[in-house]
A = this chain, B = another copy of it.
Amino acid sequence: MSQDSGRASHDPDRAQRAAGDAVTVTVEVTPPYPVRIGAGVLAEAADRLPPGRVALISDAHVDPLHGDGVAEALASAGRSVERMVVPAGEDSKSVATWDGLLRRLARAGFGRDDAVLALGGGVVGDLAGFVAAGYMRGVPLLQAPTSLLAMADAAIGGKTGLNLPEGKNLVGAFWQPRAVLMDVRTLRTLPPAVFADGSVEVFKHGLLADPELADAVLDGRLAQDASDAALTRWVAASARVKAVVVARDEREASGARATLNLGHTLAHALETSSGHALGHGEAVAWGLLYAAHLSRLHHDARGEAWQDWSEAARRLIRRVRPRGPGVDDWDALAPFLARDKKARAGRRRWVTMPAPGAARLCDDVPPEREREAWDAFIADVRTTSLETEGVER
């Protein structure tokens, strides 16, 4: 992974519109691609795509905020733009919506060298990404995440996908974008609770590999300093952690990439059992607290070294204030844990982290340890839910 600062465009007109302090994080897959982070980097969209038409896919929340600006920047670079707006929300990650977008591309006569630009949060990125992956067996894709959650997580790494009625993300493809544009100005349009949800994935990256980044979430610097420079710094730090892991394991073939799922096995089960009333960031916050307890108990029982990081997880929860996990009976949750994609030959696999920076994939956690960690977790849920720091929902 390399990094440089400065402008990417050599067109003085367009470069002027982009901020001078943008940062590039390179994702070293084949071929490598840049993640541009800064204020105004959306203006670079045309420079980051091969010549041709652009399908600008967004949703009904994001399009009114940022759609016109991106469309105008593309048009002024001489691009023909086809705008496609889907309803906001998880329901758009469906086979039906995907089919509709593909048919619109076909009717508009899009070819293999025309491109898809995904402008929005994780839903738009996953949906439009899978449109790009599937249309004519793959067309160029630009990811332009507009939420902190999508910047920290979904926009880097090439995962695209749809939900089935039977479960989330059961259909999809790995399809790497040509570039990712993270315009930190879009973060200022987020409601505080949505920003807080995104900060959970930023914190997770800090916990995995960047202690100062984790501290910036916990001590409130991320939430309170909304300057271009501060946002660019922390978003870039988070992107760097993810880019390194993705480059080590592009298609989730080794266990390396699975460590990004720290906290996610429980989080997915909580999301599903709540009927998706609980947001992803909220669920992962609880998932991290559970992972802290499970890591301590599992590695202690095996006589291995460990360092308790549950206080960091509790501080995260006090700051983010997720709604409650909605279930306190382990047996009631078990069916929702059964369909985890990490499972192999029917065996549940957990990401544990005996100490910050040392995450690993474990398939030898005995059921009694899972339950013991759940009891410790539920005791913590009762305590931390009474505290009052953090965002309003």
| Minimum Cβ distance to chain B for residue A75 (Å) | 18
Is A354 located at the chain interface by the 8 A CB criterion? no
Given A341-B111, A341-B112, A343-B111, CB of A102 within 8 Å of CB of B138: no
**CB <8 Å contact, A170 and B102:** yes
Are A171 and B134 closer than 8 Å at their CB atoms?
Answer: yes
Query: Contacting A106 at CB < 8 Å: which of B159, B170, B172?
Result: B170
Number of copies: 2
Whether B111 and A166, one on each chain, are in contact in the complex, defined by CB atoms closer than 8 angstroms, is no
| Closest CB in chain B relative to A115 CB, distance in Å | 13
Q: How far is the CB of A272 from chain B (nearest CB, A)?
A: 13
Q: Report A139-173 residues with CB < 8 Å from chain B CB.
A: 159, 161, 164-167, 170-173
Do residues B167 and A137 form an inter-chain contact, with CB atoms below 8 A?
Answer: no
Residue pair A166, B107 in contact (C-beta under 8 Å): yes
A138: which B residues are within 8 A, CB to CB?
Answer: 173-174, 251
Contact A173 B134 (CB under 8 A): yes
Pairwise interchain contact A164-B103, C-beta atoms closer than 8 A: yes
Give the size of the chain A interface in residues (CB under 8 angstroms). 37
> Which residues of A97-146 have CB atoms within 8 Å of chain B's CB atoms?
99, 102-103, 106-107, 109, 111-113, 133-138
A172-B134 CB under 8 A given contacts A106-B164, A106-B167, A166-B106: yes
Are B106 and A173 touching (Cβ within 8 A)? no
Q: Are B172 and A137 touching (Cβ within 8 A)? A: yes
Contact partners of A133 in chain B: CB under 8 A: 173
Q: Would you call A344 an interface residue if the criterion is a C-beta within 8 Å of the partner chain's C-beta atoms?
A: yes
- Determine if A52 is an interface residue (Cβ-Cβ < 8 Å): yes
Rounded to whole Å, the gap between the CB of A326 and the closest CB of chain B is 24
Q: Is the CB of B339 within 8 A of A137?
A: no
The reply to whether the CB of A345 lies closer than 8 angstroms to some CB of chain B is: yes
B52 near A345 with CB under 8 A, answer: yes
Q: Which residues of B contact A51 (CB under 8 A)?
A: 345
A338 and B135 CA atoms in complex are apart in Å by 17
Task: List, in ascending order, chain B residues with CB within 8 A of A99's CB.
Answer: 95, 164
A-B pairs, 3 with minimum CB distance: A106-B166, A137-B172, A95-B99
User: Can you report 8 A-B residue pairs in the complex whose CB atoms are below 8 A from each other?
Assistant: A51-B345, A102-B164, A103-B164, A106-B164, A112-B344, A137-B159, A137-B161, A138-B173
Q: Contacts A95-B102, A136-B171, A137-B159 given; 18 further ones with Cβ under 8 A?
A: A51-B345, A52-B345, A102-B171, A103-B164, A103-B166, A106-B166, A106-B167, A107-B166, A111-B343, A111-B344, A111-B345, A135-B170, A136-B170, A136-B172, A137-B161, A137-B172, A137-B174, A138-B174
